[in-house]
Amino acid sequence: MAETQTTPKQSLLSPLFMQQLDRLDVMSRKILQGKLQGERRSKKRGQSVEFADYRSYVVGDDLRFIDWNLYARLDKLFLRLFMEEEDLSVSLIFDVSRSMHYGEPRKVEYAQRLAAALGYIGLVNYNRVSVYSFADVLLGQLPNLRGRRPIPQMLEFIADQSRAGEDRRGAGNLSDVLRRFTLMQRQKGVVVLVSDFFDKGELSDALRYLAAERFDAYAIQLLAPQEVDPQAGGVIGDLRLIDMEDADVAEVSVGPALIKRYKANLQAYCQHVRDLCRKRGVMYMVTDTSVPFDTVVLRYLRERGLLG
């Protein structure tokens, strides 16, 4: 019997889940002007089918938009204005560094599924979608996708990125990654950063690149359940721990007191990330990979205003 091949589309998003995603759209806390007509309403007045307002006629205006019924009643020329709809730029940046390969399920797989779901939603709503992966440097980029046709290309790209990150070793440099991203992404739009944020650089410096006026930024911090509760991951007793990213070594004796202190430090660090995001105007969410994926997308991201 022949072995059935699993495509990237099937491994990241099931057909049933994609049907649920079809009912959603990426939202923005800011009204952002796009370059092409899509499904995003802007402040501008245009020529779509939805009426918005009137204004007085001036010489040179298009006579097709004069409201002749209003002229018959008021003996004055008014122009009908319509709400213009424009596309939204959606940039997805997900972490594939070695620390993201930890946990059960692995954080990197969860991050890939989040990027795939958000990218899919953006594309079916005819927004412009760009996808980036990073480890210690910006690794891969797939910019300026639009419409349903490039969905398989996007899913294949996302599925391929974890191998590139697993092969790299070195301390994270999120500040340089986001600096390079902002140099490439000049368009206004929504930016979603998915990472565990286990970066030895100054996180405040990194997040300032997302604080640009042209971005509506979201940060999603992923943790493994074994990081939330080390005992569940077998971290107990006399151990020699090796940093997955830069190979730093620490010999420790792990007991209840140290685990209690670790949990307090982890909670404090997550609060630190939250506070920095709030300071920079970045919407923040933290979850661990034991939370059902559909719950995060269909409930948590909607509650935080990213999806609607």
**pLDDT per residue over 198-214, tens digit each?**
988 889 999 999 998 88
Q: In the prediction, which pLDDT does 78 show? A: 82
pLDDT at position 50 is 57
> How confident is the model over 292-299, as a mean pLDDT?
96
Among positive and negative, which fits the CA dihedral 107, 218, 301, 93?
negative
Checking if the pLDDT of 13 tops 90, the result is yes
pLDDT (mean) for 286-294: 95
* CB within 8 Å of 169: residues ≥ 6 apart: 98, 245, 246, 247
Model pLDDT, residue 126: 86
**Can you give the pLDDT at residue 95?**
96
Q: Which of 64-73, 77-86, 153-162, 250-259 has the highest mean pLDDT?
A: 153-162
Cα dihedral 296, 41, 43, 144 in deg (nearest 10): 70
Cα torsion angle, 117, 200, 277, 260, sign: positive
- Can you tell me whether residue 33 is helix, strand or coil? coil
Give the pLDDT of residue 231. 77
Residue in the structure block whose two tokens are 């991050």? 111
User: Which is more confident, 165 or 79?
Assistant: 79
Residue 272's pLDDT is: 97
Q: What is the pLDDT of residue 2?
A: 46
Q: What is the mean pLDDT of residues 149-169?
A: 86
pLDDT of residue 240: 64
Backbone angles phi, psi at 136, to 5 degrees: -80, -15
Is residue 151 within 8 Å of 194, Cβ to Cβ?
no
Cis status of the peptide bond prior to 105, with omega within 30 of 0: yes
Out of 38-42, 144-148, 191-195, 287-291, which region has the weakest mean confidence (pLDDT)? Answer: 38-42
Q: Cα(214)–Cα(201) distance, rounded to whole angstroms?
A: 25
Full set of structural domains in the chain with CATH: 40-86 (no CATH), 89-303 (3.40.50.410)
* Cβ(138)–Cβ(91) below 8 Å: no
Q: Which of 13 and 251 is assigned the larger pLDDT?
A: 13
Strand segments, DSSP code E, in 96-223 are 128-134, 138-145, 189-195, 215-223
If one counts every other C-beta atom within 10 angstroms of the C-beta of residue 21, the result is 19
Q: What's the pTM value of the predicted model, to 2 decimals?
A: 0.80
From CA 16, how far away is CA 18, in angstroms rounded?
A: 5
Rg (C-alpha) for the chain, rounded Å, is 24
Maximal C-alpha separation, the chain: 91
Q: With cut-offs at 50, 70 and 90, classify the pLDDT of residue 44.
A: very low
